[in-house]
Structure 1
């Protein structure tokens, strides 16, 4: 969205700008540090950003029954906006709507959740023009408003583009003591209030939004949509002394590892006492998990696009690598995939074997083992080497590389060379690495040797297809 000039500063030292779209009004506040600004009748959301403009991510706070935009959270939005330790600052949006007693002061019978959800959905649509990731942090009734708004937003995406990707700008939802299945406590309150009726157990009005999530949204933090249409991880916070919402209702249908129990009441759970408070740390760590998941999804999607090009072209126009470790180690996998991605150029793509057609010949089979295992004669350490040699011997791989990692890697390299048949000596790289940090340069040297040996291997036609592959915002973060 084009950036407009900013009006003069308000009394809090913030520059203000108003956006009006279809009756929905957002007030923008450009601030160096988080400052509250009182809501007026013409705005329902405040967006706090830093000069010179929006960052990659924004956290949207949505209060609950009888709450208020800022009062419900105390200092929590400031902790998010200002950043803490290794967590960078994040833009913050505060959504405010009248409910319960606040609504009666305006002669209303509580909040109209459907209207509030429509309004919030409009804000989300507007924010999605500026942010790659939108994280919703919602308390109590606010969780139901958020669920309804995200449903409306995602349905709108499908209506505009049936082929929209599963990873939308809605990155994740944090439901703080939200009655996903309603609460019996609501029956004790006056049914005069429409928002109280919405909180009742098995509310039919709210079920229509919950059914959408059940049918269309992958709520687990997984880099695959599976049978679902969208990926929106949903997390739940439960207060141990919550007298309003039961743990069963607050965690309904959510994965065990995306639930968290905090000592406190229904209201204190959304008022962390400092930047190191457990609920704040949990949200920040979960955001990191979501970002890693989204990056992995985009990486997988990129590989699928490359594989699609490969199926239409000669496989000799691509370099295919395959990685095997003595044991499964996520750090080794990350090192391998990072090096492989960085080694891809505009004229050649280095594609992992998992993303090509079965039976495609491997250009480089990579085996990594521990030096200690090699010197001890461990079967697992030797097996990955033998498998790589056999792959070259039977012709399913053109070459292989063996890297032994550890303090005694020099001795391990000498030992591995003894395992090579004479006819395979010139087809297998054997190198050592003192520690995990040294594995990357070794693998990069092998792969670069292949890429630079045949710089014209990529045909002009396939090169053009690769250059036309759509850019994704995570590619830069992944590769630079």
Structure 2
């Protein structure tokens, strides 16, 4: 569990793993700025005066947290987890906190861990859970962070080198997730499921992280360069002011009211055409769906050409239980998984119908594992199918509401 103290963070402080939160006053602030160090770094030693400067700034009403984990040289002292487990640990600490808005500040490998924590939050947590980091993160500040891999890894060890190599699997997944699912522009384009602006700072004499990998896919007005080496530039006065300014911008932009326009859940149905009762259940669920106060309605796109389909909000799939283990079904569900990762498919509801439905559902669940908007429901009787489809529609509506999926603009 996080440790809470009511004092300013200082460079001489120590922390042996975990998360320490510095409260500005007796009551928690509404926002939290979290510092995550890089390879071989330490919770306070890496940052110098930076956490204290953010803590004392009158531009921010935010508490400060410092996260520590073992990497690089420190791994020699005993057992230590891999970086994915570190990201999961960070996620777990933040899930236990009640802050409405969270800004993550990561140096070097710490920036990768921050990105990974956000992505894992999306994968592991149902969309309706508003405490998930993916719903509360309003900014990511990456300082000399190899967002597409580092050109040089010094004394990283096998566990660390795994996430530092250029275009390695983990940073590639991070890049794909932020490209497809996250609006990283600080003013927001309104074209992605989540809005988390990313700010990047580079150092002029950085021998480990080059400009391209540190600023990958970011707009020029979200990038700055400072004099110094990979770590020395963190101790400059101007970089401290820059971090305060970017945190303030992120919080201010998060407060900009969103104007929701009318939106549609674009729905497709796939089932055996010989069973008209299945189609009747689908259309019955559409008729029973209540238009929400914010204007979300239903649109049946089942018979539209699929080549014109750039986004489906809910795919309803009904499969006879006896064919759930067929190779074609397995291939199809893997394709559903890829469509969900790319953002072309928002939610999938699948029902094996018939005998041995629990076993069939178990097999199907393996194809959509770790995708929180994929729902597998065994349905033994056709008359229960309509209720289950309606349930998927309601869950999709809730997911779209929480994720700001629908078209939007600024007042």
- The aligned residue for residue 56 of structure 2 is 82
Cα shift at 1:26: 1.5
Cα shift at 1:166: 11
- The aligned residue for residue 287 of structure 1 is 247
Cα shift at 1:299: 4.2
The 8 Å contact of residues 241 and 266 in structure 1, kept in 2 or not, is answered as: yes
Distance 1:82 1:89, change over 3 A: farther
User: Where do 1:36-47 residues align within 5 Å?
Assistant: 37-40=13-16, 43-47=17-21
Distance 1:171 1:191, change over 3 A: closer
- Choose from 19, 26, 31 the match for 1:57: 31
The 8 Å contact of residues 90 and 117 in structure 2, kept in 1 or not, is answered as: yes
Distance 1:220 1:98, change over 3 A: same
- The aligned residue for residue 73 of structure 2 is 101
For residues 216 and 60 of structure 2, what CA distance do their matches in structure 1 show? 31
Distance 1:100 1:263, change over 3 A: same
Moved runs in structure 1, 4+ residues, more than 3 A?
33-37, 162-167, 189-192, 308-312
- Residue 140 of structure 1 pairs with residue 140 of structure 2: no
User: Where do 1:441-460 residues align within 5 Å?
Assistant: none
CA deviation vs aligned residue, 1:170-209 (integer Å, no higher than 9, x gap):
01000000001112212xx467432023211111233222
- Residue 208 of structure 1 pairs with residue 173 of structure 2: yes
Distance 1:55 1:101, change over 3 A: same
Which deviates more, 230-239 or 148-157?
148-157
The 8 Å contact of residues 149 and 213 in structure 2, kept in 1 or not, is answered as: yes
SS at match of 2:245: helix
- Choose from 25, 30, 40 the match for 1:66: 40
For residues 55 and 111 of structure 2, what CA distance do their matches in structure 1 show? 21
Considering only aligned residues, what root-mean-square deviation do their CA atoms show, in Å?
A: 3.3
- The aligned residue for residue 454 of structure 1 is none
- TM-score, normalization by structure 2: 0.60
Cα shift at 1:124: 2.1
- TM-score, normalization by structure 1: 0.52
For residues 165 and 145 of structure 1, what CA distance do their matches in structure 2 show? 16
The 8 Å contact of residues 14 and 43 in structure 2, kept in 1 or not, is answered as: no
Distance 1:121 1:141, change over 3 A: same
For residues 73 and 49 of structure 1, what CA distance do their matches in structure 2 show? 18
- The aligned residue for residue 195 of structure 2 is 231
- Residue 29 of structure 1 pairs with residue 8 of structure 2: no
The 8 Å contact of residues 151 and 210 in structure 2, kept in 1 or not, is answered as: no
- Residue 117 of structure 1 pairs with residue 91 of structure 2: no
For residues 192 and 166 of structure 1, what CA distance do their matches in structure 2 show? 29
Cα shift at 1:167: 8.3
- The aligned residue for residue 154 of structure 1 is 122
Distance 1:283 1:115, change over 3 A: same
For residues 90 and 200 of structure 2, what CA distance do their matches in structure 1 show? 20
For residues 107 and 153 of structure 1, what CA distance do their matches in structure 2 show? 25
Distance 1:246 1:300, change over 3 A: same
For residues 201 and 82 of structure 2, what CA distance do their matches in structure 1 show? 25
For residues 196 and 100 of structure 2, what CA distance do their matches in structure 1 show? 13
- The aligned residue for residue 250 of structure 1 is 214
Cα shift at 1:107: 4.7
For residues 247 and 197 of structure 2, what CA distance do their matches in structure 1 show? 10
Distance 1:309 1:106, change over 3 A: closer
Gaps of 5+ in 1: 1-24, 313-469, 471-480
Cα shift at 1:28: 1.1
Distance 1:166 1:181, change over 3 A: closer
Larger-Rg structure: 1
- The aligned residue for residue 174 of structure 1 is 141
Cα shift at 1:280: 2.1
Cα shift at 1:155: 2.9
SS at match of 2:3: strand
Cα shift at 1:142: 0.5
SS at match of 2:207: coil
How many aligned positions are there?
273
Cα shift at 1:282: 2.0
Distance 1:53 1:198, change over 3 A: same
- The aligned residue for residue 131 of structure 1 is 99
For residues 258 and 72 of structure 2, what CA distance do their matches in structure 1 show? 46
CA deviation vs aligned residue, 1:215-264 (integer Å, no higher than 9, x gap):
111111134431x2111101100101111100011001111110111111
Cα shift at 1:144: 0.8
- The aligned residue for residue 205 of structure 2 is 241
For residues 130 and 13 of structure 2, what CA distance do their matches in structure 1 show? 40
